Amino acid sequence: MGHKKSLSAIAYTRVSSEKQVDNYSLDFQEDFCSSYAKANNMELKKIFREEGHTGTNTNRPAYQEMRQYLKENHVDVVLVHHLDRLHRDETNTFNDLRYFRQNHIRLLAIADGIDSDDEMASLVIAVKAALAADFSRNLAKETRKGLIEGAKEGRHMGGKPPYGFKVNHDTGFLEIDETTAPAVRQMFQLYAESFTTGQICDWLKQHHYKTRSGNDFTASALNSIFHNEKYKGCYTWDKAVPKDSEGHRNSHKQKEEYIRIEGGCPAVVPPELFEKVQEKLKENSLKASRNKAKRYYPLNGRIFCGECRQRMTGNVQYSGKSKYYQYRCSSGCGNKPVRAEYLENYVLNVVKECLFSETNANHILESLNQLSIDHKHETDAQYQQLMTKKAGLETAQNNLLNALESGKGTSAIQKRLERLCTESEQIEIKLTNINRTHHQFTEEDLNRLKQKFETYLMTHDTVNTKRLLDCTIQKIDIGANEIQLDFADSISISSETKKKLKGDSIMNTKTIKNEKNVTLNAFLLGLRDGESKNELILHLAIRPYHECNYSSTCDLALSMESVSQLLMKKEIELWELIGCKMDLTVKWNGEQITQVLDLNVA
Spell 528-564 as b/e; 16+ CB within 10 A means b: eebeeeeebebebebeebebbebeeebebebeeebbe
Q: Give the Cα separation of 528 and 536 in Å (integer).
A: 6
Instruction: Examine the pLDDT at 136 and tell me if it is beyond 70.
Output: no
Q: Is a pLDDT exceeding 50 seen at residue 290? A: no
SS3 state at 255: coil
Is 90 exceeded by the pLDDT of residue 571? no
- What pLDDT, on a 0 to 100 scale, did the predictor assign at position 147? 59
Question: Residue 207: pLDDT above 70?
Answer: yes
Using the predicted structure, report yes or no on whether residue 309 has a pLDDT greater than 70: yes
Q: Is the pLDDT of residue 511 over 50?
A: no
pLDDT at 546 over 50: no
pLDDT at 119: 65
Q: Regarding the domain delimited by 7-138, which CATH topology (the fold level of the hierarchy) does it fall under?
A: Rossmann fold (3.40.50)
Pairing of the two strands 552-559 and 535-543: antiparallel
Structural domain boundaries in the chain: 7-138, 165-291, 516-601
pLDDT of residue 274: 94
Selection from 218, 211, 154 nearest residue 180 by Cα: 211
The per-residue pLDDT for 470 is: 83
Tell whether the model's pLDDT for residue 352 goes beyond 50: yes
Task: Tell if the pTM clears 0.85, that is, is over it.
Answer: no
Structure confidence by residue, pLDDT tens digits, 231-281: 999 988 777 655 554 555 555 555 666 778 888 899 999 999 999 999 888
pLDDT band at 165 (very low <50, low <70, confident <90, very high): very high
- What backbone torsions phi and psi does residue 392 show, to the nearest 5 degrees? -65, -40
pLDDT at 416: 78
Output the furthest CA–CA distance in the chain (Å, rounded): 135
Mean pLDDT throughout 575-593? 70
Q: What pLDDT was estimated at residue 561?
A: 79
CA distances from 219 to 17, 213, 280, 285, 288 (A): 31, 16, 15, 13, 16
32 contacts 66 by C-beta, under 8 angstroms? no
Give per-residue pLDDT as tens, 354-390.
Answer: 888 877 788 888 888 888 888 888 888 888 888 888 8
Cβ-proximal residues to 504 (8 Å cutoff; 6+ apart), any chain: 346, 349, 350, 510
CATH of domain 165-291: 3.90.1750.20
When pLDDT is cut at 50, 70 and 90, the band that residue 12 belongs to is very high
Instruction: Identify the CA nearest to 507 among candidates 531, 487, 477.
Output: 477
Give ∠ CA 462-467-473 in degrees, rounded to 5: 120
435-458 pLDDT, tens per residue? 777 788 888 888 888 888 888 888
Q: Are strands 473-478 and 312-319 parallel, antiparallel or unpaired?
A: unpaired
**CA distance linking residue 379 with residue 539, whole number of Å:** 54
Cβ neighbours of residue 407 closer than 8 Å, sequence gap 6 or more:
none
Rounded-to-integer distance, Cα 221 and Cα 224, Å: 5
Cα–Cα distance between 11 and 16 in angstroms, integer?
A: 17
- How do 473-478 and 303-305 pair as beta strands? parallel
Residue by residue, DSSP assigns 105-155 as -EEEEGGGTEETTSTTHHHHHHHHHHHHHHHHHHHHHHHHHHHHHHHHTTB
> Measured between alpha carbons, how far is 87 from 107 in angstroms, rounded to an integer?
13
Amino acid letter, 78:
V
Share of the chain above pLDDT 70, in %: 78
pLDDT at 505: 43
Instruction: Write the CB contacts of 118 (distance below 8 Å, at least 6 apart in sequence).
Output: 124
Contacts of 369 (CB under 8 A, 6+ apart): 440, 441
CATH 1.10.600 describes domain 516-601: no
Lowest pLDDT segment from 59-68, 182-191, 281-290: 281-290
